[in-house]
Amino acid sequence: MNFTGLGPYKWKYKTDRPLGDEERRNCLHKEGAASKKPDYDLSVICLNSTYMELVDRWYPSKGHAVVYGVMGATPFVLGAVLMLVAALERQGSFAMWFGLAVSFLFSLVAICFFCLICLEAFRKTHYPIRVNRKNRMVYAFNSSGKIIKVSWDDLFFCKASSKSPLGERDYDIRAHVLDADGETIRDTFTLAMPHSGAEERIVDLWEYVRRYMEEDKGVVKNYELTQFCWPISGRREGVWYGIIGGFSPAAVAPYLIQLPFSPYFALITWGRLIAMYTSRVPHWPESVEAECSVADSDPYFKDWRDNPKLSFKQGMVPVIGFVIGSIFWGVATYYAVTSLLHAM
């Protein structure tokens, strides 16, 4: 639930500035192996002999902004409506003007929470990144929908971190587009991010991307290592994979431990589904597709259709948890609404 780079104001990447000392210290070099155990870390959409496509840093946690925005906006929307109704019943009195003022203030707060919802909803389903090893170019959708196109050799890569108000510090591989002086940052995007955002997994993920672009056998090695690709290449994430994605933070725990937390993850999953199905699927322009053309007989082509069959724990436990969690929230909502109606 870290929205760094996704929105305006404090979430926006800082550009038009010189490289900082910390960024220089955390530079990720393209030459030489960075790790002995590279890991794709559930970051791949597809790969082949020409390019590899990766998910954005916000994709694993998609759904949080929608859920928190709805939870925050709901009481203020209800409060604004109730205050407005009460005010209109007291025509011409001080109570009417007071009620209208409070209703207006509540509406402003509700709008702020709606803006939080719109960090994920009504935008792009995801913001893919492509690295092309043949022409050594990188293509990336940024959060505004603009496509960044830049040479791999001209990018400055570094380990970067950010912290959300209620979460732990997340780490990602930050890519800076530099000016001709080699010092001034003109644009920024996240090349890749460990699925958990953990610092210790940064170099493993970086090595996975680096060797694809730099080593002669990088394609073969990554093809053999990659066991799972997200089914979102030119398409929207399906409901089943949406549930799997929503419950993915709990996937490392035994399923008997996952189920008690199913109401929380079910709520996040509903937010994820709302975000996905109110947003547009990103499509690369024809010029990019032409530069990334893949031979029909490419022996190293891999996407979601090559995924192995999911185990019961991977594929069905999240569905069971989603059903249990949804029933919990359905019952809770029913009792909350009936109690409110009785109180009125």
pTM above 0.85, yes or no: yes
- Confidence label for 217 from pLDDT (cuts 50, 70 and 90): very high
Encoded tokens for 234: 């030119």
Mean pLDDT score, 312-333: 93
Q: What is the pLDDT of residues 121-148, one digit of tens each?
A: 999 999 999 999 999 999 999 998 899 9
In 28-121, beta strands by DSSP E = 44-47, 51-54
Model confidence over 183-214: pLDDT tens digits?
A: 999 999 999 887 766 788 899 999 999 999 99
133 in Cβ contact with 51 (< 8 Å): yes
The beta strand positions in 55-206, using DSSP E, are 129-132, 137-141, 147-151, 155-163, 169-178, 184-192
Residue-level length of the chain: 344
Kindly report, residue by residue over 226-251, the tens digit of the pLDDT: 999 999 999 999 999 999 999 988 77
Gap between the terminal Cα atoms of the chain: 36
| Mean pLDDT, rounded, for 331-343 | 85
Name the β-bridge partners of 173.
159, 192
Instruction: Strands of 223-332 (E only): list them.
Output: none
Whether residue 258 is predicted with pLDDT greater than 80 in this model: the reply is no
Instruction: Note the pLDDT of residue 163.
Output: 75
Output the pLDDT for position 252. Answer: 67
Q: What is the pLDDT of residue 158?
A: 96
Please tell me the distance from the alpha carbon of residue 123 to that of residue 114, in angstroms, as a whole number: 13
Structure token digits, residue 290: 């032409």
pLDDT cut 90: percent of the chain above it: 74
